[in-house]
């Protein structure tokens, strides 16, 4: 049987390297579609959890993972030699920035080296980690060339960006359209067949990995730029005493040419604040300076300080200094209804507040503990006594579940809502209660 036939008949053994927010849901979908899947990770704890059928990623249905682990359809290992037992491998490892905001491809390189070491003929390798255009052909392909493979003839190599949106209840891995671009037409054909065998969504083929890599960067650059526009609008509207939330709601009534984006305390997560800088780095190699990306990044990066500045003014109006005040951050995850703290702007607001001498507590129903500067800080319960003892609450994450916004409003002396979640959840009409202020 050819590899293509094995993929179509779902008899190909699939390996997923990196069992995080992207890899675990992908491994589960592939196993649910009928493939036998082996997950690979360097963290033994995650591997053990998968083998015990214990879920640790919000978007995975725990019962599905447990059933797949029990049936043996999905297993996990830290033993990279078992990559050699796979016909298809998807690489889903982190792609962070280093401290100079330059791409850190070390995870991609080390996992791809492991794959190349154990690769065999008639194998499909797909990189899913977000990265700069050129990575698949310039970084991965030489490893397989060096190992003696002929790409497109006896080993198939492609890039397919992952679009998972953690916490999104409507679009999951299974029903989100996929883009694929292979190093040769045969590589693309094999990668397309793989995702068509798994997804209930169209698979769109582009002419090479570069177009697929750039597609993902365009999608996330679109987000960083539009978030910056919304944030800049919020700052200007405040100065002009205009209600930015009303303006965005009104603009969104236009049925064409406008997609609403909303302000907030900054932009977080492993994608939006990071991925566009992969392009910035790559563009430098062709003497291009990505002005829009860096300006957008600067505007978003300024938001935590802006939020603290707003709070300082609000406290000043009430005759209180920020120094020595007691502030509760409501929500520390980078976005609503998930537990992911990576690049969370709430943590930057926290830093700013502490630098100015405020005492900071947090409440987050999704994050019971936060590790900061070597300490493990627990979430506090927002009971009436605590709320009354505060100087202010800042809503930093728009969690829509498990949070009693009415209690916050009834007991806290001041609530600065950077996400406009309180009035939205409680259906409050203008004018808002005197202790509620929106960004």
Ligand X SMILES: NC(=O)c1ccc[n+]([C@@H]2O[C@H](COP(=O)([O-])OP(=O)(O)OC[C@H]3O[C@@H](n4cnc5c(N)ncnc54)[C@H](O)[C@@H]3O)[C@@H](O)[C@H]2O)c1
Q: Which of 4, 10, 13, 42 binds ligand X (CB under 6 A)?
A: 42
Window contacting ligand X (CB under 6 A); options: 37-45, 117-125, 298-306, 430-438: 37-45
- Tell me if 23 contacts ligand X by CB under 6 A: yes
Minimal distance, residue 398 CB to ligand X, in Å: 17
Q: Which of 30, 32, 46, 141 binds ligand X (CB under 6 A)?
A: 46
Select 28 or 307, whichever has its Cβ closest to ligand X: 28
CA dihedral 59, 104, 297, 337 (to 10 degrees): 10
Window contacting ligand X (CB under 6 A); options: 106-114, 244-252, 352-360, 421-429: 106-114
Secondary structure (3-state) at 330: strand
Select 46 or 141, whichever has its Cβ closest to ligand X: 46
Extract the tokens encoding 334: 């980078």
Please choose, from the candidates 105, 179, 178, the residue with its C-alpha nearest in 3D space to the C-alpha of residue 143. 105
Select 162 or 417, whichever has its Cβ closest to ligand X: 162
Minimal distance, residue 19 CB to ligand X, in Å: 5
Minimal distance, residue 133 CB to ligand X, in Å: 14
Q: Kindly state the number of chain residues that form the binding site for ligand X, as judged by CB under 6 A.
A: 27
DSSP, residue by residue, 146-205: HTT--BTTTEEEEE------TT-SS--TTTS-EEEEESSHHHHHHHHHHHHHH-SS-EEE
- Tell me if 103 contacts ligand X by CB under 6 A: no
Ramachandran angles phi, psi of 119, nearest 5°: -70, 155
- Tell me if 159 contacts ligand X by CB under 6 A: no
Window contacting ligand X (CB under 6 A); options: 86-94, 176-184, 325-333, 408-416: 86-94
Q: Which of 31, 60, 124, 164 binds ligand X (CB under 6 A)?
A: 164
Cα gap 302→247, rounded to integer Å: 22
Q: Which residues of 328-365 are buried (b: 16+ CB within 10 A; e: fewer)?
A: bbbbbbbbbbbbbbbbbbbbbbbbbbeebebebbbbbb
Q: From the candidates 86, 183, 237, 271, which is the catalytic residue?
A: 271
- Tell me if 20 contacts ligand X by CB under 6 A: yes
Secondary structure (3-state) at 362: strand
Window contacting ligand X (CB under 6 A); options: 36-44, 238-246, 365-373, 388-396: 36-44
Contacts to ligand X from residues 264-303, by CB under 6 A: 270-271
Q: How far is CA 118 from CA 73, 78, 179, 354, 422, in A?
A: 22, 14, 27, 50, 53
Q: Which of 40, 132, 144, 156 binds ligand X (CB under 6 A)?
A: 40
Select 50 or 228, whichever has its Cβ closest to ligand X: 50
Window contacting ligand X (CB under 6 A); options: 6-14, 157-165, 280-288, 303-311: 157-165
Window contacting ligand X (CB under 6 A); options: 34-42, 188-196, 256-264, 403-411: 34-42
Residue with tokens 């697929």: 212
Question: Residue 45: how many CB atoms within 10 A of its CB?
Answer: 9
Catalytic annotation on 271? Answer: yes
Q: Which of 6, 14, 21, 33 binds ligand X (CB under 6 A)?
A: 21
Give yes or no for a cis peptide into 157 (omega within 30° of 0).
no
Select 261 or 334, whichever has its Cβ closest to ligand X: 334
- Tell me if 245 contacts ligand X by CB under 6 A: no
Q: Which of 36, 55, 75, 95 binds ligand X (CB under 6 A)?
A: 95
- Strand ranges in 271-317 using DSSP code E only, listed in sequence order: none
Q: Which of 29, 87, 162, 238 binds ligand X (CB under 6 A)?
A: 162
Question: Residue 84: how many CB atoms within 10 A of its CB?
Answer: 13
Select 132 or 245, whichever has its Cβ closest to ligand X: 132
* CA angle centred on 141, ends 217 and 198, rounded to 5°: 60
Cα gap 291→299, rounded to integer Å: 12
- Tell me if 166 contacts ligand X by CB under 6 A: yes
Contacts of 48 (CB under 8 A, 6+ apart): none
Q: Which of 15, 94, 181, 331 binds ligand X (CB under 6 A)?
A: 94
Separation of first and last alpha carbons in the chain = 61
Residues labelled catalytic: 271
Which residue ranges make up the site for ligand X (CB under 6 A)? 17-23, 40-43, 46, 92-95, 107, 110-111, 129-130, 162-164, 166, 270-271
């Amino acid at each position: 049987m050819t590899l293509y036939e094995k993929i179509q008949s779902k008899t190909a053994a699939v390996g997923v390297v990196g069992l995080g927010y992207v890899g675990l849901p992908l491994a589960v979908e592939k196993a649910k579609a009928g493939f036998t899947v082996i997950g690979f990770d360097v963290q033994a704890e995650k591997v053990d959890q998968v083998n015990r059928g214990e879920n640790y990623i919000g978007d995975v249905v725990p019962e599905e993972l447990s059933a797949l682990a029990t049936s043996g359809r999905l297993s996990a290992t830290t033993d990279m030699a078992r990559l050699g037992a796979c016909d298809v491998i998807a690489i889903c490892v982190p792609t962070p920035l280093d401290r100079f905001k330059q791409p850190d491809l070390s995870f991609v390189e080390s996992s791809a080296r492991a794959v190349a070491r154990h690769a065999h003929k008639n194998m499909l390798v797909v990189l899913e980690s977000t990265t700069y255009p050129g990575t698949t052909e310039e970084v991965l392909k030489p490893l397989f060339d060096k190992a003696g493979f002929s790409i497109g003839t006896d080993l198939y190599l492609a890039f397919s960006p992952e679009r998972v949106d953690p916490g999104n209840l409507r679009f999951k891995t299974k029903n989100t359209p996929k883009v694929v671009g292979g190093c040769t037409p045969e590589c693309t054909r094999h990668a397309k067949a793989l995702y068509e065998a798994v997804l209930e969504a169209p698979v769109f083929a582009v002419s090479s990995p570069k177009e697929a890599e750039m597609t993902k960067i365009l999608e996330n650059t679109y987000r960083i730029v539009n978030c910056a526009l919304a944030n800049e609008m919020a700052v200007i509207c405040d100065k002009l005493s205009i209600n930015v939330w009303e303006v965005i709601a009104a603009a969104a009534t236009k049925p064409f040419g406008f997609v609403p984006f909303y302000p907030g305390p900054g932009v977080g997560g492993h994608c939006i604040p990071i991925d566009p800088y992969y392009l910035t780095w790559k563009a430098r190699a062709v003497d291009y300076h990505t002005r829009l990306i860096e300006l957008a990044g600067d505007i978003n990066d300024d938001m935590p300080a802006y939020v603290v500045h707003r709070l300082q003014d609000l406290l000043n109006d009430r005759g209180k200094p920020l120094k020595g005040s007691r502030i509760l951050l409501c929500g520390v995850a980078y976005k609503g209804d998930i537990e992911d703290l990576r690049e969370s702007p709430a943590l930057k607001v926290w830093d700013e507040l502490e630098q100015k001498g405020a005492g900071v507590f947090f409440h987050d129903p999704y994050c019971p503990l936060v590790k900061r500067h070597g300490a493990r800080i627990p979430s506090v319960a927002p009971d009436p006594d605590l709320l009354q003892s505060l100087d202010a609450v800042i809503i930093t994450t728009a969690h829509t579940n498990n949070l009693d916004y009415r209690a916050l409003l009834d007991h806290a002396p001041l609530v600065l809502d950077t996400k406009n979640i309180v009035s939205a959840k409680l259906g409050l009409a203008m004018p808002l209660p005197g202790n509620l202020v929106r960004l």
